[in-house]
Amino acid sequence: MKSQATTSDKPAAIARDGWPIRSYYDLTKPRVVGLIVFTAIVGMFLATNEMVPFVRLVLAAAGIGLGAASGAVLNHVLDRNADAVMARTQARPLPTGAVGTLGALILALTLAILSMVLLVMWVNFLTAALTFASMIGYGVIYTVFLKYATPQNIVIGGAAGATPPVLGWVAVTGSVSADALLLFLIIFCWTPPHFWALALYRREEYASAGIPMLPVTHGMRYTRLQILLYTALLCAVTLLPFGTQMFGIVYLAGSVILNIGFVYYAVRLYKNYSDALARQTFSYSIQYLAMLFGLMLIDHHAASLVALITG
C-alpha cells in the first residue's frame, strides 16, 4: 500500500514543484549543511584573536559548505533505494522521481568542483584537501561501506562529520593544532548519542531497509545504555578545552548547564523509554551542539564583545 501511494504521488509532487529547483536544493540537506558551516565559521574565529578577514571568511565558508552539500547529494544518490523504503525518507527528491539520478550526480560533481576551486585558489590547499577527504568520507566511505556493514557505522563514520571546525581552523591558520583537534573530538563524541536517539524511534524503518543500526542489531536497552555512556564521555570531553585553558569561565558554566540537560535526557531515555522521548533527545542534541559552539565563540571573544558593548 505504501509503494502505491508513493507512486501515485510522484506526478503531483513534480507538477506542484514545476521546475525542480527546490528539489535540487533539498538534495543538499540545507539544515545539516547549515550546522556544518556554522561550526566551521566558529572554528575560523577560534583560530585567531583577531577578526577573520571578511573575504576569507566568506570564501572559506562557501567552499566548505559547497563541499558538504556535494557529499550530501552523493549520499542521496547512493542511498536512494534505502530511502524509498523508509517512511522518513520516502519523500526525498530521488525516491519520488522529482530529480533523476543523473541530474543529482551532475549537481554533486558541480558543487564539488566549485568547492575545490574556491578553497584551492582563495583559501589554502590543506583546507581543500581536508574538505575533499571529508566529502569522500561521508558521501562514499560511510554511505557505501560502513552504513550497511556494521552497527558501529555512526561511530567510525563520525570522523567525517566531525571535521568542520577543523576545516574552519585550517582555513585561517593553514595548519592543524591540538585545540582544533579538541573541537573535532567533541563532535566525534556527540555523534553517536545524537544519531542513536534517531535510530531508536526509527528502528523498524532501518530494519526494513537492511541498515544495521545499533537498535536493530543489539536491541533497545543496549542502545540506550550506549547513549548514556557516550553522553557521559561527551560531557567529560567538553571540559577538556577549559582544562587546557582554551576557554574560560563563560564556556565552563554554559557547557556544564548544557551537559546537565543532555545527561537528563539520556538518563530518562535509559530508564523510561518512549519514542516521544527519543525524539526529544534527538532534537535537544542538535540544539546542544549549536549552543555549545556558540558558547565557545562568546567565551573566546568575550573581551572584544564587552569592549564593543561598553564603547
CATH number belonging to domain 1-175: 1.10.357.140
User: Which pLDDT belongs to residue 6?
Assistant: 39
State residue 17's pLDDT score. 46
| Residue 19 DSSP code | S
Give me the long-range contacts of 34-39 (CB less than 8 A, separation at least 24). 35/286, 35/289, 35/290, 36/64, 36/65, 36/68, 36/161, 36/164, 37/61, 37/64, 37/65, 37/68, 37/164, 38/290, 38/293, 39/164, 39/165, 39/168, 39/183, 39/187, 39/289, 39/293
pTM: 0.90
* Every domain of the chain and the residues it spans: 1-175, 177-311
Q: What is the pLDDT of residue 310?
A: 60
* Amino acid 301: pLDDT: 85
Q: According to the model, what pLDDT value does residue 14 have?
A: 42
pLDDT for position 19:
58
CATH number of 177-311: 1.20.120
Q: Which pLDDT does position 123 carry in this prediction?
A: 98
Q: What is the mean pLDDT of each run of 10 residues along the chain (311 residues)?
A: 39 48 95 96 95 96 98 96 92 94 97 98 98 95 94 95 98 98 98 98 95 97 98 99 96 98 99 98 98 96 62 55
